[in-house]
Amino acid sequence: MHLLYPFAKRFIAGEDLRTALPNIQSLNRSGFLSTIDVLGENVFTVDQAKAAKQEYLDLVQAIDKLYFPLDLSVKLTQMGLNIDPNLCRKNIKELIHAAGEHTVRLDMEGSDTTERTIQLGQDLHRTHKNLGLVLQAYLHRTKSDVDTVIEEGISTRLCKGAYKEPPELAFQDKNSIQQNFLKLAFRLLKEGFMPAIATHDEFLIQEIIRFVEKENISPKTFYFELLYGVRRDLQKILLGKGYQVRIYVPYGNSWLPYTLRRLAERKENIFFVLKSLARETFGLGKFH
């Protein structure tokens, strides 16, 4: 599977904390905020969950020296959700305590974890205001989850959703997902607490900008969020327009599942991988 690494490199800030930190600092110097993800998900043993938690604790210790508040993106299945929910809760609590003023945001995974993620997030947020959530616009249930996060004042990232879900649970076509995204985003922007609009879809971004201008919503009350290595041009344009732009920065060794999701999002990515594969196999790079 190492053949995918040239492709993966574009989307990850480093293989470990040491190599990722200069990239995070460089983003900050250019005016971007970051949400940092230590890559990993679906661990099977208590030791793996503990090791993942320790990696986040090391990250918190390192970023505390940087003097700027960050967002930490973490997956519950990385903290042991599917081994023992209590272990997972304990790990997340420990991380929230250590994180202090940094936000700990629970990434949203497949629909088998949605309810458990929202429940745990809602519960922990009552005592720890630095807990944030993520909601996916492709899920039918998200309309009511948006009501919940607005009522509870939980800072929420809205994205389209990156997992394969059945039609009973999720919109399947691009247009329905876009329309639902806009409806949910408009509510979060008007009534939610520091929402993040996470997309590279230019149509959605234009509609959001039109909406915030029409409604006089201050750019200080929300974020645009984009993935590391995706549409850097757009990242700069949004920053130049005076918006707060937060970059999702993943790093670590467990890059494969994350990379496969990025691969699936765009057919050009598959061509890129096939081209690299052909170059390695047949040495085409020497002639072109």
Footprint on this chain of ligand FDA (rule: CB under 6 A): 107-108, 134, 136, 157, 159-163, 198-201, 225-227, 230-231, 248, 262, 265-266, 269
Q: Which residue has the tokens 């919109």?
A: 171
Residue with smaller CB distance to ligand FDA, 18 or 274: 274
55/228 with CB nearer ligand FDA:
228
Angstrom distance (rounded) from CA 134 to CA 145: 10
Please identify which of the residues 37, 71, 107, 145 carries the catalytic annotation. 107
| Shortest reach from residue 85's CB to ligand FDA, in Å | 19
Torsional sign, CA 230, 233, 236, 242: negative
CB of 250 to ligand FDA, least distance (A): 10
Q: Which amino acid, residue 45?
A: T
Separation of alpha carbons 133 and 122, rounded Å? 9
Select 68 or 271, whichever has its Cβ closest to ligand FDA: 271
157 catalytic per annotation: yes
* Residue whose CB is less far from ligand FDA, 231 or 279: 231
DSSP 3: G
- Min. distance of Cβ 137 from ligand FDA in angstroms? 8
Residue appearing with tokens 């920065």: 249
Q: Could you report how far apart the first and last alpha carbons of the chain are, in Å?
A: 25
Which residue blocks in the chain are alpha helix, DSSP H? Answer: 5-9, 17-29, 46-64, 85-99, 114-127, 142-152, 174-191, 202-214, 232-240, 256-264, 267-282
* 107 catalytically annotated: yes
Q: Decide: residue 102, CB within 10 A, 0-12 exposed, 13-18 middle, 19+ buried.
A: buried
Is 45 or 79 the residue whose CB approaches ligand FDA more closely?
Answer: 79
Q: Which of 37, 71, 145, 157 is catalytic?
A: 157
Residue nearest ligand FDA, CB atom distance: 200
CB of 167 to ligand FDA, least distance (A): 17
Q: How far is the CB of 196 from ligand FDA (least distance, A)?
A: 7
The H-or-E segment that residue 224 falls in is strand 223-227
Q: Which residues are catalytic?
A: 107, 157
